[in-house]
Amino acid sequence: MTRRAKATAAPSPWSSQSERERERAAKREAVLRTAARLFNTRGYHATSLDEVATALNVTKPTIYHYFANKDEILFECTRRGLDAIIEASRRTAAQGGSAAERLRGVLTVYALTMMDDFGICVARTQDHLLSEPSRQQFRALKREIDALIRHLVVEGGVDGSVQVRDVRIATFTAAQALNGLGNWFNPEGPMTAPEVADQVVQTLMAGLTGRGAATD
């Protein structure tokens, strides 16, 4: 582990700086995780930054050293969740298979994300909690996800693997049901997150593909 002076490539003077940056980023993430958990259990307004700070063994001004204000913290929490969905969805959507198969994959990813800290935060964050600029980004990210799903539904309509009356309604129904997971899922419950995700997605897909619920 000891790094000898000239041993590795470029033991440049920047190393310490990048190290700093990494630590700073790690601390930001820690703040976000802790904040997300607290927001999720007590609610945004009911969670003071003092509480967040205390949970991190730190004081409030320290938090302000890493974030401009409370709004930024909330927004970054939701962005973690939304980005996770978008990124994983893009990967899934780019794979092979019928539109229905890819849709199932995307919905499953969505479902899984909605059951972790940041996903739950997304589900519970009503947009009037955010400042105007944050709200706009928040909405934009959500629209992106909506567009991704909608696109697959349309594609499925073309290749015949998906059958719905109204694309908007179908997309909305699926997305809302999955958002609900954020409020409903209990890790201490009888089913694991992947099990729940599979089951819910299956129920939804039954409605979207017209193949009915498999009762195998």
Partner DNA sequence: TCTTTTTGTTACCCGTTGGTATACGAGTTA
Partner DNA sequence: TAACTCGTATACCAACGGGTAACAAAAAGA
Question: Cβ(123)–Cβ(179) under 8 Å?
Answer: yes
Question: What length does the chain have?
Answer: 216
Binding mask 53-92 for DNA (x = CB under 7 A): x---xxxxxx-xxx--xxx---------------------
Under rule CB under 8 A, residue 186 binds its own copies: no
Under rule CB under 8 A, residue 175 binds its own copies: yes
11, 18, 24, 87: residue in contact with DNA (rule CB under 7 A): 24
- Among 144, 137, 147, 131, smallest CA distance to 79 is for 137
Residue 100: alpha-carbon gap to chain centroid: 22
Gap between the Cα atoms of 101 and 199, Å rounded: 15
18, 41, 48, 199: residue in contact with DNA (rule CB under 7 A): 48
Put residue 174 in one of left, alpha, beta given phi > 0 → left and psi -120 to 50 → alpha.
alpha
* 207 token code pair: 């409605």
Say which entry of its own copies, DNA, none residue 151 contacts (CB below 5 to 8 A, set by partner kind): none
Gap between the Cα atoms of 206 and 212, Å rounded: 5
Site residues (vs DNA, CB under 7 A):
13, 16-17, 20, 23-24, 27, 45-50, 53, 57-62, 64-66, 69-71
Site residues (vs its own copies, CB under 8 A):
41-43, 45-46, 124, 126, 128-129, 163-166, 169-170, 172-177, 179-181, 183-184, 196, 199-200, 202-215
